[in-house]
Structure 1
Amino acid sequence: MEKVKVRLRPIVSNINLPVVIKTAILPGESVETLFIATQVGEIFYVGNGRMNTFLDIRSQIIKLGVAGGKYDERGLLGLAFHPRFSYNGLFYLHYSVAGTQGPGAFSTSGDGRDALPKFFSPDPCNPETLNLKWTNRETNFDHVDTVEEWTLQSTGQPQKRRTLLNIRRPFFNHNGVNSLNFSPETGKLVLTTGDGGSGYDPFHLSQDDMEIAGKIIEMDVNQQVFTMNPPVVTRFHELPEPIQRTLSVMAKGVRNIPGISYQRSYHNQFIKYVGQVGQDLVESIFSFVHYQPIPVTQLVQAYLMNAQQHNEGFINLGWRGWEGIFPTTLINDCSTNSSIEKKTIAYYDDAIKTLVKRLQPLTSYFHEDPRPGKFSGSALTGVQSYMGNSIPQLTGSVVFTDFALEDSTPPVSGTLAYTKVRADGQFNDYSIIDTQYNYGSESSFYVSLGSNMNQTRLFLGVYGSNSVNDYNKGTVFEIVP
């Protein structure tokens, strides 16, 4: 594929970290409005050539930059507008709740009760590190995430309508980002959750059918289930049955995921694109058309009866046994020769169990790649389908962003790239998109990627720092020819 050249047109500058960028039609209007949600809890919209505040919930967001240091993956993580938002004013939020800071997750091992480090790595020579359990979850957790339904009142003021889910998270990271999107196929709200955080999914949550962590979940928000204060849970069977009936699981084996993008295909079908943030080696983009969502009530019934669930059509991204196209691998220096790296399969049994069941990536890019025309990435931060004609080389492709080039010297910069689905459905390579933009002496971390409603326009969120405590360093660009 050819290297595409584009320009970046600044739309908004000097804002906080932009995590969600999308458009919607406001009630009473006929044209789309651009909305920008920031990690600290602000939602802006751009109208009449200026930026306006739509909603400010900063006081309801957990204090950022504490558990993870200057870098943090909590905050306002998801914003989605109901398909009939212009008529009913309904929209949805996913955020980390103020006042819920906990001590972090603990596990049991041979030595008893141990606190896990912020970024855990297993030791293949110590079996106890391969089968850890998250214990005393009610007290040993990092924070609580909530998913809420809001309504835009006739006065123009947003108001919370109900809480859909309260999820207890073991660590500060891997909570998902751009985590709420509506499916044009089913009309359901899709929640993408990470595996709970730390490193290497230490509690093996992503493959466990009962765990909410590490899943792509469809939520039927048109079922009017009003539970005033849903319990704070980590597993599906802990939810009240009325809430269980609104949920189905699309996929598991998720490590961390920057949302889901739908691309209209033939016969009114849609290609679904999801990105998997890697551990040490590789970042991956997956695509699928057909899937069989499994009702949570069915999963819970199988669990309570201790029956084997036969998940025909269940999408499995393979984590933690697989990191994209590779078995999940630890890289260590050989003790006899420090210049040689020893590679060990971290979870061999998990890799074997998911070998056949897992979905193969559409494309991958690597943390080290010496090939001409490629780049060494660090973390996938956005995946969006592009169906516009203004940049014809990209029409019908999936565009993705990487946070920052690996091991680059300051000022660091993120990267844009793209790929396409091959007719034979096989693995495809990718190509870099040259933004031709000079950021000057300041770093430019690529933190988000968004589109308008029919995917004919693309928007890029850039931040001048990797610290959530460095404020007002954000810029939102439109990607133009």
Structure 2
Amino acid sequence: MRRWIAVAVTLLVGANAFAFSPGERAPLRATARAVTSAAVPPLRLVPIVTSGLQEPLYLTHAGDGSGLLFVVEQPGRIRVIERGGLLKTPFLDLSERVLSGGERGLLGVAFHPDYARNGRYIVNYTRRPDGATVVAEYRRSDRPTRSRTEERVLLIVPQPYPNHNGGMVAFGPDGLLYIGLGDGGSAGDPQNRSQNRDELLGKILRIDVDRGTPYAIPPDNPFVAGGGRPEIFAYGLRNPWRFSFDRRTGMLWAADVGQYEWEEVDMIQRGGNYGWRIMEGAHCYSPPRGCQTAGLIFPVAEYGHERGRCSITGGYVYRGRAVPALQGLYLYGDYCSGELFALDATAPASGEARVLLQTGLSISSFGEDEQGELYVVDHRGGVYRLAAEPQRTGG
């Protein structure tokens, strides 16, 4: 998620790719650019919300059986979708605390695994006035669609530049909180923060929010005994804007936004070094002492910036039931081209991704509901559910 301002004109020009006006609720269908195989049927995006949202960046559920969907708006609000309708009153409004614009804003939310009982959840935002990253805890009120406003700050990370903030927060199957942080911005990671294990920037962190003050370090984090900050789980990342856990296998998938040429998909391992700024994708970028790749973990898939592609948006391994042919495929997209890709999660090292759908959207995120069905979030203000095209019957 970078260069939002720079690509705004391009995205607005491309808005005529929609086959319906913003107020209509007709599905977005694959165009002639979509590529499908015999195993995957033609797909469509069913509109859930097409008006009333301001710069949505993420969608998730609370795992409490309520069926509610929560949408993060970049200016600082969390909105609620209940039974397919967008509620007028926000679940939480942090707009007075949030510094928004470009790549800054309210960037992520994660609900505690025991949210149904304790009402706890985590947000990630860039604060006023300095743009530092804040990871903080909030609690649900007595009403399931409203939050309390008291904040408990867990972590503050200064941001040297206004871009590459990361923003993803998610609880893993181990019950621990994972936090995605970009390299701090500018171009080319000029201070080499991503490779510096004494810095939190350019990393995925893992902390225990159920212990400690304000958190505890998991004892099996890779640098607990030294060699780096103990919060670090993996490093060498440029801007891991969206990552997710496969709800069946527990594997951690991350899409790392590239510099000028290559976007990548990574399977994250504890203590792994994913190469930035030595590498951009699987290609040498700015090695300090020659292109030494020993010890680096290469992406399982990558793509270049041809055909209007510019910024990868990570998704999920599909585990829903509505489209059985998608089972076991990791779905992700590109913010600029609007393409939706699929990668076989059972053999990702082949790096053979397919374009399943040309959406015409500015794909800022994907999301899952409690049943594992997938949603696509359009930064211009829409939420869509992924579905198969109805099969035609002969007459």
Paired residues for 1:234-273 under 5 Å: 248-265=231-248, 269-273=249-253
Cα separation, partners in 2 of 1:446 and 1:48, compared to 1, 3 Å: closer
Letter in 1 for 2:349: Q
- The Cα of 1:280 is off from its aligned counterpart by 1.2
Letter in 2 for 1:89: G
Paired residues for 1:85-124 under 5 Å: 85-100=115-130
Q: String of CA shifts for 1:212-268, please: whole Å, max 9, x gaps.
A: 1001000100014149xxxxxxxxx9xxx9xxxx95321000100123211145xxx
Letter in 1 for 2:58: V
Aligned residue in 2 for 1:364: 302
Aligned residue in 2 for 1:458: 374
Residue 445 in structure 1 maps to residue 345 in structure 2? no
Provide the rounded CA distance (Å) in 1 between the counterparts of 2:82 and 2:290: 50
Q: String of CA shifts for 1:159-195, please: whole Å, max 9, x gaps.
A: 3341101111000000013x100001x2001001000
Aligned residue in 1 for 2:29: none
Q: Which has the larger radius of gyration?
A: 1
Q: String of CA shifts for 1:14-45, please: whole Å, max 9, x gaps.
A: 2111111011145xxx3321110111011111
Provide the rounded CA distance (Å) in 2 between the counterparts of 1:449 and 1:350: 37
Provide the rounded CA distance (Å) in 2 between the counterparts of 1:402 and 1:49: 26
User: Paired residues, what number?
Assistant: 335
Using the size of structure 2 for normalisation, the TM-score is 0.79
Kept in 1, the 8 Å contact 2:138–2:147? The answer is no
Provide the rounded CA distance (Å) in 2 between the counterparts of 1:384 and 1:446: 14
> What SS does the corresponding residue of 2:213 show, helix, strand or coil?
coil
Kept in 2, the 8 Å contact 1:219–1:247? The answer is no
Structure 1 residue ranges, 4+ long, deviating more than 4 angstroms after superposition:
1-4
Kept in 2, the 8 Å contact 1:401–1:417? The answer is yes
Paired residues for 1:149-298 under 5 Å: 149-154=137-142, 156-177=146-167, 179-184=168-173, 186-226=174-214, 248-265=231-248, 269-288=249-268, 291-292=269-270
Provide the rounded CA distance (Å) in 2 between the counterparts of 1:223 and 1:210: 23
Kept in 1, the 8 Å contact 2:36–2:356? The answer is no
Kept in 1, the 8 Å contact 2:132–2:157? The answer is yes
Provide the rounded CA distance (Å) in 1 between the counterparts of 2:170 and 2:335: 21
Cα separation, partners in 2 of 1:153 and 1:389, compared to 1, 3 Å: closer
Aligned residue in 1 for 2:342: 418
Provide the rounded CA distance (Å) in 1 between the counterparts of 2:250 and 2:256: 19
- The Cα of 1:350 is off from its aligned counterpart by 6.2
Identity of aligned residues (%): 29
Letter in 2 for 1:356: A
> What SS does the corresponding residue of 1:86 show, helix, strand or coil?
helix
Letter in 1 for 2:169: L
Cα separation, partners in 2 of 1:172 and 1:350, compared to 1, 3 Å: farther
Kept in 1, the 8 Å contact 2:138–2:150? The answer is yes
Residue 479 in structure 1 maps to residue 386 in structure 2? yes
Provide the rounded CA distance (Å) in 2 between the counterparts of 1:279 and 1:50: 38
Show structure 2 runs of 5+ residues with no match.
1-34, 216-222, 389-395
Q: String of CA shifts for 1:408-448, please: whole Å, max 9, x gaps.
A: xxxxxx1111101344x63321000125x6x6xxxx31111
Provide the rounded CA distance (Å) in 1 between the counterparts of 2:366 and 2:138: 24
Aligned-CA RMSD value: 2.3
- The Cα of 1:357 is off from its aligned counterpart by 1.0
Provide the rounded CA distance (Å) in 2 between the counterparts of 1:75 and 1:350: 37
Kept in 2, the 8 Å contact 1:385–1:399? The answer is yes
Using the size of structure 1 for normalisation, the TM-score is 0.66
Letter in 2 for 1:44: R
Letter in 2 for 1:273: W
- The Cα of 1:383 is off from its aligned counterpart by 2.1
Provide the rounded CA distance (Å) in 2 between the counterparts of 1:43 and 1:77: 10
